């Protein structure tokens, strides 16, 4: 499964109405740690296809969504299930820590 490019136009459909849990990577192009986490998130999206959807939301281009969810530091990785945020990780994390979080959310 490819990583979904999230924005204000598809947020409701791709995150709030998703049948599967969704991992949202809040990021920005100028953020060094975001650039480190990006490839890890993409790998996890492929390895967990069918269990979880993964999307990236550029906070500079979608400020209203970032503000709505209180994203103050990036990268922020937020997990949504049934339209509600169920888990949040702030800061760069390794693949193992992120996979553990995915396993917790997927159950």
- pLDDT value at residue 2: 85
The residue ranges of every structural domain in the chain are 4-106
Which of 4, 6, 24, 31 is an active site residue? 31
Reported as a single tens digit per residue, the pLDDT across 47-80 is 999 999 999 999 999 999 999 999 999 999 999 9
Whether the per-residue pLDDT at 1 is higher than 70: the answer is: no
DSSP 107: -
Is 31 one of the annotated active-site residues of the chain? Answer: yes
Total-model pTM:
0.96
Is 34 one of the annotated active-site residues of the chain? Answer: yes
Residue 70 falls in which region: left (phi positive, over 0), alpha (psi -120 to 50) or beta = left
- Which numeric CATH code is attached to 4-106? 3.40.30.10
Task: List the one residue out of 6, 101, 100, 88 whose CA is nearest residue 55.
Answer: 6
User: Cα 100 to the chain's mean position, in Å?
Assistant: 15
């Amino acid at each position: 499964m490819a990583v979904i490019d999230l924005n204000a136009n598809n947020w409701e459909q791709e995150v709030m109405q998703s049948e599967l849990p969704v991992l949202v990577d809040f990021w920005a192009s100028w953020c060094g740690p975001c650039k480190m986490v990006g490839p890890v998130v993409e790998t996890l999206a492929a390895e967990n296809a069918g269990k979880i959807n993964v999307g990236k939301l550029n906070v500079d281009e979608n400020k209203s969504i970032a503000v709505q969810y209180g994203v103050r530091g990036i990268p922020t990785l937020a997990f949504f299930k049934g339209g509600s945020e169920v888990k949040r990780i702030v800061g760069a994390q390794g693949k193992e820590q992120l996979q553990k979080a995915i396993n917790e959310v997927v159950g």
